[in-house]
Amino acid sequence: MRQSFIKASKGRQGGVLTRANIALALLGALGVLACNPSAAGLFSDDEARQALNEQSKQLVKLQNEKQALEARVLKLEETLRNQGLLDLLTQIDALNAEIGNLRGQSEVHGNNIDAAQKRQKDFYVDLDSRLRRLEQAAGGGSSAREPAPTPDSDSPAPEGDSPADSSSGTSGAGGKANSGAAVADGGRSASSSATEQKRSGSSPAPTAASRSSDAAKANPGTMSEASVYDTAYYQFKRGDYAGAVSGFQNFLRVHPNSPLAPNAQYWIGNAQFAQRDFAGAIASQKKLLANYPSSQKAADAMLNIANAQSEMGDAAAAKTTLQDVIGRYPSSEAGAKAKRRLSSLK
């Protein structure tokens, strides 16, 4: 019995020792853990790694977004630069077009100035030649009583405004117009015998009034006709275009069958053109062409019509009229003028 009890007691003591050993082992492990903090931080290191990984991913994402934004900014800058270039090109094209228009206007104005200068020169040449013809005509009218004076110039006058050139009748009618126009010249010609008598004596040379008086005595019937015409003509030359129109219209009312009637009608149209009454100028010149188709002023009248049509902006009608002038008068001075003006309209 005692031996069995002793064995049982030893067995219970062994079980207690075993549990005690386990407890001691656990305490030892806890002590080790307490003494080694790195082992205790194993779980916190994993969390830190995960946090670092997350931050790395966010950093990469931010870098990608930054690169995308930079690319967009560069694209916008390039677009703006291209738009600026397009605007500059558009402005350059507009400036080139404006320069072209200005050049065209300059050429048109240059042609108009050349034409105006040519017309002015023609007017002065026409006036000078006409005065010389009147001097010769006055000398011829007084030659029945006196020797004819020496002409100032042997050069022939151009076709146009002198009474002799304007005559549509016989040579007798032309002589009458010439002598009458000499009266209106107001003393451009001289009476040769009176001049010679006074030059040989002590009295001074004859005045313009005495010369005109001598010519009037030789041809008293035509003085009014020529004086009315010349008064209107000189009004035109002075720039009194309204007075010239009125004067020439009065001349045509009083002397409708005068050899100077075509010229009077022509200068009416010219004066209206100078007043910028282009419609009136066209109507007057067409009246000349209808009433005096064989007049030496017909070609000039057609040129005046073309100029008026051009000033009114009817370039097609102006070209047609100029072509008509070239067709009717191909070898004349008017035809040459029409060719030059037609080339300037193209």
Q: Are residues 200 and 228 in the same domain?
A: no
Please give the tally of structural domains in the chain: 2
Domain membership of residue 303 (yes or no) is: yes
pLDDT digits (tens, 9 = 90+) for 184-206: 333 333 333 333 333 344 444 43
CA distances from 282 to 13, 109, 191, 288 (A): 153, 22, 42, 10
My answer on whether 206 and 254 are in the same domain is no
Do residues 255 and 341 share a domain? yes
For residues 127 and 237, the answer to whether their CB atoms sit within 8 Å is yes
Mean pLDDT across 274-294: 94
Is residue 55 in some structural domain? no
- Of 229, 313, 294, the closest CA to residue 268 belongs to 229
Kindly state whether residues 195 and 284 are assigned to the same domain: no
pLDDT at 183: 32
Q: For residue 140, tell me if it sits in a domain.
A: yes
- Among 193, 218, 243, the domain-final residue is 218
Residue 251 belongs to domain with CATH number: 1.25.40.10
The 10s digit of each residue's pLDDT in 48-81 is 888 888 888 888 889 899 899 999 898 888 888 8
Same domain (yes/no): 194, 260: no
Given 218, 236, 269, the domain boundary residue is 218
- Residue 239 shares a structural domain with residue 341: yes
Residue 3 has pLDDT above 50, yes or no: yes
| Stated pTM of the model | 0.40
Within a domain: residue 280? yes
Q: pLDDT tens-digit profile of 74-93?
A: 888 888 888 877 788 788 88
| 40 against 30, higher pLDDT | 30
DSSP per-residue codes, 231-298? HHHHHHHHT-HHHHHHHHHHHHHH-TT-TTHHHHHHHHHHHHHHTT-HHHHHHHHHHHHHH-TT-TTH
Average pLDDT over residues 200-222: 38
Q: How many helices (H) and strands (E) does the chain have?
A: 14, 0
Contact indicator for 125, 158 with CB cutoff of 8 Å: yes
Same domain? For 202 and 248 the reply is no
116 domain residue, yes or no: no
Euclidean distance between the first and the last CA atom of the chain, given in angstroms as a whole number: 155
330 and 280 fall within a common domain: yes
Q: In the chain, pLDDT over 70 holds for what percent of residues?
A: 62
Q: What pLDDT was estimated at residue 284?
A: 95
Whether 187 and 207 have beta carbons less than 8 Å apart is answered as yes
pLDDT band at 21 (very low <50, low <70, confident <90, very high): low
Say if residue 291 is in the same domain as residue 346.
yes
Q: Domain residues for 271?
A: 223-346
Whether 115 has a pLDDT exceeding 70, the answer reads yes
Residue 332 lies in a domain: yes
Q: Mean of the per-residue pLDDT values for the chain?
A: 71
Task: Say yes or no: 231 and 190 in one domain.
Answer: no
Average pLDDT over residues 16-30: 59
Are 137 and 236 members of one domain? no
Q: With H, G, I as helix, E, B as strand and everything else as coil, classify residue 137.
A: helix
Average pLDDT over residues 173-190: 35
196, 218, 240: which is the final residue of a domain?
218
Residue among 324, 240, 328 nearest 341 (CA): 324
In 10 A of CB 261, how many CB atoms? 21
Query: Per-residue pLDDT averaged across 133-158, rounded?
Result: 45
Whether residue 17 is contained in a domain is answered as: no
278 and 201 share one domain? no
